[in-house]
Structure 1
Amino acid sequence: MIEIERISRAFGGLQAVREVSFTVAEGSITGLIGPNGAGKSTLFGIVAGALPPDSGRIRLQGEDITGLPTHELFHKGLVRTFQIPHEFSRMTVRENLMIVPARLAGESLLRSWLQWWKVVREDRAILRQADEVLEFLEISHLRDELAGNLSGGQKKLLDLGRTMMTDAKAVLLDEPGAGVNRTLLGKLAEAIERLNRERGYTFCVIEHDMDLIARLCDPVMVMANGELIAQGDMATLRENPQVREAYLGTGTSGGMGAA
């Protein structure tokens, strides 16, 4: 689905990402882990079109998308969420979902006059879709709540819901578990699993909670100091001396629990 080939990016004298290559297979939930400063978010930004790479190529379903801006990638089915949710705080939860679909008849003043029936039909379809998303995520009771009043975990669910309002093929999740209580974290993990299993979503997930990574992801990629140092299933990586060194400063003792 996503092929990352020898991607590098420097900021001045700091080499944030160095020659990183891996593939996110179609239908997988691929994890991306590593200590703070490993280069994970920089790599996500490059893949998502927010940053250009200094070198390397990125392909989406075989198409070279290197350097394409975020809005073009959105229309190609590659979307991203952020560690800190970017909701429209003074709009309701349902309205936050309904503004996501693009290229609608109502966006044109002329078409809204001459093809008003099409605008009405599209608005009704989007409303139904938004309500279906709310039901899927089990947050229908929040449909009329202002998004700014939601808890951190509820905002993460809303972020996930907004990806469901697109024609997403691949979703980059940046620390979905950050700031989420354990109850809502379980609901969020279940929603990701269902989207993957029932709707065929492909995910790449940055996360510091190793228990969440172990539940969701296989394979898992490990970065440290801007480089990819290991990959495999979480059980194997917990015992990898190089991974333990990167996280703990020791290759011989300690363990990788939930961070």
Structure 2
Amino acid sequence: MLEVENLVMEYGGFRAVDRCTLTAEEGHITGLIGPNGAGKTTLFNLIAGAIEPTSGRIRYMGEDITHLSADKRFHKGLVRTFQIPHEFHRLTVLENLMMVPGHQAGESLFANWFAWGKVAGDERETERRAWETLEFLELTHVADERAGNLSGGQKKLLELGRTMMTDARLVLLDEPAAGVNRTLLRKLEEKIAILNKERGYTFILIEHDMEMIEKLCHPVICMAEGTVLIEGDFQTVRSDPRVLEAYLGETVGDAA
């Protein structure tokens, strides 16, 4: 589904991403781990179209999207979330979901004057989908709450819900466990697994919570210094000496 080939992102003389090559298979939850500064979030920014690479190629569903704008990638079903949620904090939770779908009739001034029936119909359908999403996420009790008042875990669930309001096929999840209490984290894991197994969503997941990675992800890719260090199942990656060295900053022999 996604192919990243020899991707490079330079800032001056510093390479945040250095000849990075990886693939993400459709129907999988691919885990992306690595120490702070490994280049994981920069890689997400490149894949999502927030920045353009210095060199290299990105292919999505067989199409070269290396220079495609972020909004066009979004409309092709490539969607991302953020480590710090980007909710519209003064809007209600329900309104945050309803404003996500693109190309709604109400966005047109002409339609608001001359096709108000179409506008009203679109809004009813969008509201129905938003309520279905809230029910799935178990957030109906906060539907009318301002999104800025939610807990960290509820905001992460809302971020996931906003991806569900699009035609997402590949979702880039940036540290969904960050700032989430253990109870809501288990719920978040459950919802991601259901979306993957029952609804066909493909995920790439950046995460430092190794318990979450172990539960959800196969394969697991470890990055270090801007490039892929190793890819495999969780146990193989976790026990690789190069991974231990990348995280600890010393060789296994020195650590011993």
Q: Is 2:21–2:227's contact at 8 Å kept on the other side of the alignment? A: no
The alpha-carbon deviation at position 238 of structure 1 amounts to 1.4
Where does residue 190 of structure 1 map in the other structure? 190
Paired residue for 2:147? 147
Q: In the aligned structure 2, how far is the partner of 1:42 from the partner of 1:72?
A: 19
- Superposition pairs for residues 207-222 of structure 1, below 5 Å? 207-222=207-222
Residues 1:36 and 2:41 are matched in the alignment: no
Give 1:239's aligned residue: 239
Q: Which amino acid aligns with 1:27?
A: G
Per-residue displacement from partner, 1:174-220 (whole Å, max 9, x unpaired)?
Answer: 00000111110000010100000111000001111111111111001
- Contact 1:248–1:254, Cα closer than 8 Å, also in 2: no
| Residue identity matched to 1:204 | I
CA shift, 1:250, in A, is 3.9
Instruction: Give the match for residue 65 of structure 1.
Output: 65
1:20 aligns to what? Answer: 20
- Distance (Å, rounded) in 2 between the aligned partners of 1:76 and 1:112: 27
- Map residues 107-186 of structure 1 onto 2, 5 A cutoff: 107-186=107-186
TM-score by length of 1: 0.96
SS at match of 1:199: coil
Match of residue 93 from structure 1: 93
Structure 1 gaps, min length 5: none
Which residue identity does 2:74 align to in structure 1?
Answer: F
Secondary structure at the residue paired with 1:56? strand
Q: Distance in 2 between matches of 1:22 and 1:193?
A: 22
**Mapped contact 1:90–1:147 kept (Cα < 8 A):** yes
Deviations 1:119-145 (A, max 9, x none): 111110001100000000111111011
Partner of 1:38: helix, strand, or coil?
Answer: coil
Within 1, Cα distance between the matches of 2:22 and 2:57? Answer: 11
Q: 2:203 aligns to what?
A: 203
Q: List 4+ stretches of structure 1 deviating above 4 A.
A: none
Alpha-carbon distance in structure 2 between the residues aligned to 1:82 and 1:184 = 17
- Separation (CA, whole Å) in 2 of partners of 1:123 and 1:238: 48
**Given residue 149 of structure 1, which amino acid in structure 2 is its aligned partner?**
N
Alignment deviations for residues 73-126 of structure 1 (CA, whole Å, 9 cap, x no partner): 111110100000000111100000000011111111111221111111111000
d(CA) in 1 for partners of 2:117 and 2:63?
37
Deviation at 1:254, TM superposition (A): 11
For the 8 Å contact 2:85–2:159, the answer to whether it is kept is yes
Residue 117 of structure 2 aligns with an amino acid whose one-letter code is W
What TM-score, normalized to structure 2?
0.97
Question: How many pairs align?
Answer: 255
Task: Give the superposition deviation at 1:251.
Answer: 4.2
Residue type at the aligned position of 1:63: E
2:106 matches 1:106: yes
CA offsets 1:217-254 (integer angstroms, 9 cap, x no match) = 10011110111110111111111011111011344379
* Aligned-CA RMSD value: 1.3
SS of corresponding position for 2:198: helix
Counting aligned pairs with the same residue, the percent is 61
Residues 51, 67 of structure 1: 8 Å contact kept: no
**Secondary structure of the structure 1 residue equivalent to 2:103:** coil
Q: Distance in 1 between matches of 2:191 and 2:150?
A: 18
